[in-house]
Amino acid sequence: MDGHKIAGRSAGSVVDAADPGRAAVPDAMSADAWAAAWSTSLQRPSTGFDPNWSEQGFTNQTLRQVVRLTAGGDRLRVRLSNVFGRTPLTVTRATVAASDGGTAIRADTFRSLTVDGEITFTIPVGAEVASDPVAFRSTPLDSIAVTMYSAASTGPATYHAQALATSFRATGDQCGDASGAVFGETSRSWYYLSGVDVAGGPARSPGIVVLGDSLTDGSFSTPDVNRRFPDMLAERLAAAGRPRAVLNHGIGGNRLTVDSAWLGDKAISRFHRDVLSQPGIGTVIVLLGINDIGISEAVDTAPLPTFEPYTVVSADDVIAAHRNLIREARYTGLRVVGATVLPAKPSPFVTARSEAKRAAINAWIRDSGEYDAVADLDAALRSPTDPQRLHSAYDSGDHLHLNDQGYRAMAEAIDLDALG
């Protein structure tokens, strides 16, 4: 394969009899087709919510990052991205291995990664590459460690701000270090790593992308134990004997309609990169809108540089953006599920005006019939005594985000049959 070209979805091309212009999603994929088993949404280098290494980048340093796969196979490839880089990114060496917990790896699973047969490779500004395939047996919910060393300065790093997982850094080339004892620095972000794809093994059902904001990203969940909503949905599917890849494409603070240096490209802009380009998917769940309407209010109640620009967004604007995503998903053969917007009283996002917007958006999601299916998370997670508040058992404490129990309740509220 050409390491500098990333293939798009490859779930098969079957014509939908109801719409000959639209590819229907098959019930199962060929085992030989590439399927995304883990991926994340990428952001511009920035200060972010927590200290991170994105603005300074890396020089003569090794980065080890642990991720959990939600699909397995006999082969894998790793995708690395320089989409928001300012200079070409040279990776001197990169490896993959099964995680043995924390910084440690299982030495018997160690594999070198190459691109077009080369151990050292350069990723142009604005580009993403996939490694050459390596033989690597994995099963759903296995954790792997991707380790990469750059001898020269990388410049500012494309990253994902809120990983809710620990990444590790060490000086010099430490890719082969199995114990991980040399990795003395930590971060709660992911860098350059955009996806891990698998192939081989038994036939698999097309995967699911969850497109969202901090409630998808997992804000306030327990770090390093995979308690985000998409993680728990993947676990639930596996426990039900219906394993499917579930890909988390949430960004904390993200909006449908507004670009932000800190909070990511607006969802209607990143939809192609984060959803349509993921190989082997068949369904997308959309959980977005609270930040569009909430940040419109927070300019008066809790102004923060993080939220800039403070663009006022109407309910009609949010609905139009949802329709845009539905249209794009449908014409690329995806089943599209709409999730209702959760309550957030008494956070700074809530005023009488924002609640009226949320009610209008949720009524449209529930009743318009424009989504293939609806996940009514609002009904499942709101307080039984005050529908404008989260259930107290699910509230992280800021009245906007969930705790681990709340994220599990989100996963349990999804009708598995509605996912296709």
DSSP of 112-173: EE-BTTBSSEEE-TT-EEEPPPEEEEE-TT-EEEEEEEESS---S--EES--SS-EEEEES-
Structure confidence at residue 18 (pLDDT): 31
Among 22-26, 50-54, 176-180, 200-204, the least confident range: 22-26
What mean pLDDT is reported for the chain?
Answer: 92
Question: How far apart, in whole angstroms, are the C-alpha atoms of residue 210 and residue 161?
Answer: 17
Tens digits of per-residue pLDDT, 200-216? 988 899 999 999 999 99
Confidence band of 16 (pLDDT split at 50, 70, 90): very low
Confidence band of 296 (pLDDT split at 50, 70, 90): confident
Neighbours of 352 (CB within 10 A): 7
Tens digits of per-residue pLDDT, 339-352? 999 999 999 899 99
Q: By percentage, how much of the chain surpasses pLDDT 90?
A: 85
Nearby residues of 255 by Cβ (< 8 Å), 6 or more positions away: 213, 263, 266, 267, 288, 291, 292, 295, 313
Tens digits of per-residue pLDDT, 52-82? 999 999 999 999 999 999 999 999 999 999 9
Q: Does residue 140 have a cis bond before it (omega within 30 degrees)?
A: no
What is the spatial order of strands in the sheet that 93-98 belongs to? Answer: 111-113, 93-98, 143-150, 61-68, 167-171, 185-187
Confidence band of 320 (pLDDT split at 50, 70, 90): very high
- 312: DSSP letter: -
Structure confidence at residue 118 (pLDDT): 98
Domain ranges, ordered by start, for the chain: 45-196, 205-419
Tell the CATH topology of 205-419.
Rossmann fold (3.40.50)
